[in-house]
Amino acid sequence: MIKVENLHKSFGKKEVLKGMNIEIKKGEVVVVIGPSGSGKSTFLRCLTRLEEPTKGKIFLEDVEVTDKKTDINLIRQEMGMVFQHFNLFPHLTVNENITLAPIQIKKISKDEARKISKDLLEKMGLPEKIDAYPNSLSGGQKQRIAIARALAMNPKVMLFDEATSALDPEMVGEVLQVMKDLAKAGMTMVVVTHEMNFAKEVGSRIVFMDDGVILEEGSPEKIFNNPEHKRTQDFLKRVL
């Protein structure tokens, strides 16, 4: 589904990604862990060219994302992204937030879009919020709406960057549950998270990033029970 070859990213003189290589198969849930500043967010942002890679190639199926001729807006429709902060439009209702892109970009009718939105809200456990405004929702509810909004474009891949880090602790579980359901339903996902229980339980593969490279990767059992590198061991000691 995704192939990354020798990905480099520098900001000025500072090289943040130093040659990343990874292949992600359809239906895989790849959980990216690693110390703060190791380049996890930059990696995710490069996948949709929210950051322009300095060097290397990225493919989504057989389309080269990094090819200047590729329509990046089409790529962004196929890779849904959920950030730490929800970025819902405050002046739009939940339904309007969810259906804005499908109506404007996919040119589907308002009625059809509302049906999709209703169905997604059902899955998020929030059917009664369809006409609510974001400021009437809790953080966990807002984040579930943000996930529904990304899903409304029917993406091939979902990218999550610390989707639960800004939430009050009592709301983390409901968002993780939605992500877990999505994984079970077969969605291809790349998840940056500090939730190690989620990583163990839901991850098909764990990728440990350190200083701009993938230092090691493997099954949750391998990475959590038998990490090869001292840096991985030290990181896990700190977070587990």
Residue 11 interacting entry, from ligand ADP, Mg ion, none, C-beta within 5 to 8 Å by type = ligand ADP
Residues 9 and 46: beta-carbon distance below 8 Å: yes
Nearer Cβ to ligand ADP (15/119): 15
Query: Is residue 99 involved in binding ligand ADP (CB under 6 A)?
Result: no
Q: Considering only residues 16-35, where is the footprint of ligand ADP by CB under 6 A?
A: 16, 34
Least separation, in Å, of the C-beta of 85 and Mg ion? 12
CA pair distance 168, 138, nearest whole angstrom = 9
Residue 41 touches Mg ion, criterion: CB under 5 A: yes
Q: Which two tokens stand for residue 27?
A: 């239906």
Backbone angles phi, psi at 17, to 5 degrees: -110, 130
What is d(CA 121, CA 144) in angstroms, rounded to the nearest whole number?
8
Q: Is 193 in the site for Mg ion (CB under 5 A)?
A: no
Q: Which two tokens stand for residue 4?
A: 């990354």
Stretch of residues binding Mg ion (CB under 5 A), selected from 15-23, 40-48, 100-108, 152-160: 40-48
Measured CA to CA, the distance from residue 240 to residue 153 in angstroms comes to: 36
Q: Kindly write out the interface string for residues 32-61 of this chain, putting x where it contacts ligand ADP by CB under 6 A and - elsewhere.
A: --x-xxxxxxx-------------------
Q: Where are the alpha helices (DSSP H) in 31-168?
A: 40-47, 72-78, 94-105, 110-123, 139-151
For ligand ADP, give the closer residue by CB, 16 or 175. 16
Residues contributing to the site for ligand ADP (CB under 6 A): 11, 16, 34, 36-42
